[in-house]
Amino acid sequence: MGRVTIIGLGRVGRCLGISLRRTALDLEVIGHDRDYRRAREATRLGAVDRSDWNLPETLEGTELLVVAVPTGEIAQVFRDIAPHLEPGTVVTDVASTKVNVMALAHEILPGGVSFIGGHPIIGGSYRDPGEADASLLAGATYCLVVPPTADPGAVRQVTSLVEAAGAVPYFIDPHEHDSYAAAVAHLPALLAIALMDTVATQRTWPDLQSVAGDAFASVSLPAAGDPTLTLDSCAANRDAILGWIEQYQERLRALAAQVGSGEGLEDTVVRACRDRGQWVDAREAGRADAKRGSAPLVELPTSSALTEQTIFGTLMRRLRRWRD
């Protein structure tokens, strides 16, 4: 992993570059972005050793390429880079949907090039898309989607990249990933948008703003994210998102009935409070372990495991748990 190239120097690309350059590894980080202002800012922040405007020149000598552009731009970027990729190059991405990206990589990227899907789950502020800090990746879950035919060396390279950035690799099937992302990333954004649309379209909105506090600010926060990312996610992950919206609507109708009758409401409220508390505690404990260097070792998937994952997905993992 002597030279890492990052195409797309937005928030995620910069976070990754800053994290890699703060390690003790002997590597060069090259950046490319069509927006020269973003490229210049990435250089100023120390996210890249240098940025190059010329894409073919940027790709020369690249061993590991990270495509860090919005989901809707990935197909065109793949077409732009395909003629210039040398055999043996390893390519990964950071998009929040994986089924469509894996299909595009298989369709567009040339033979001899390995593609490993990636998606870092990073925190930070929705209001500041320019925010970039190595701490955002420290202890973060980093989803990796590995094709059954992937070269083991390519898997090791991407895994090493993730660990060097301070994140924790999490191997997952692409369909599972997209369903999970729809539930805990895309659905919250749409709920925030629905909330804002509900209250901000009322004639009383100017008065409502005066009494809106922290609860409203927290719940509506995802609506402040980049609209392009939300639209891209809806287009790429439509079926999974619609499935989770249906489940949420059912829960909301049940909650409305409980509010109306008073029956079962206390149990629902207490259970939600408990479940969220347990999730927060587990999340913080995992991040603390990773920062201390005591996170569990990651076992790389074998070829047979990858084939099993692709064909049977969760079913086989459940069978293994039951058998053990």
Q: Is the pLDDT of residue 311 over 50?
A: no
Q: What's the pLDDT score for residue 317?
A: 43
Residue 99, classed as helix, strand or coil, is helix
Whether 116 has a pLDDT exceeding 50, the answer reads yes
For residue range 205-251, list pLDDT tens digits in order.
Answer: 999 999 999 999 999 999 998 899 999 999 999 999 999 999 999 99
DSSP-derived secondary structure letter, 111: T
Distance from chain centroid for Cα 42: 20
pLDDT at 135: 75
| Nearest C-alpha neighbor of 180 from the set 126, 229, 221, 141 | 141
In the chain, what are the domains? 3-172 (3.40.50.720), 177-261 (1.10.3660.10)
DSSP annotation of 185 reads I
* pTM recorded for the entire structure: 0.85
Sheet holding 28-32, edge to edge: 50-51, 28-32, 3-7, 64-67, 90-93, 114-120, 141-145, 168-171
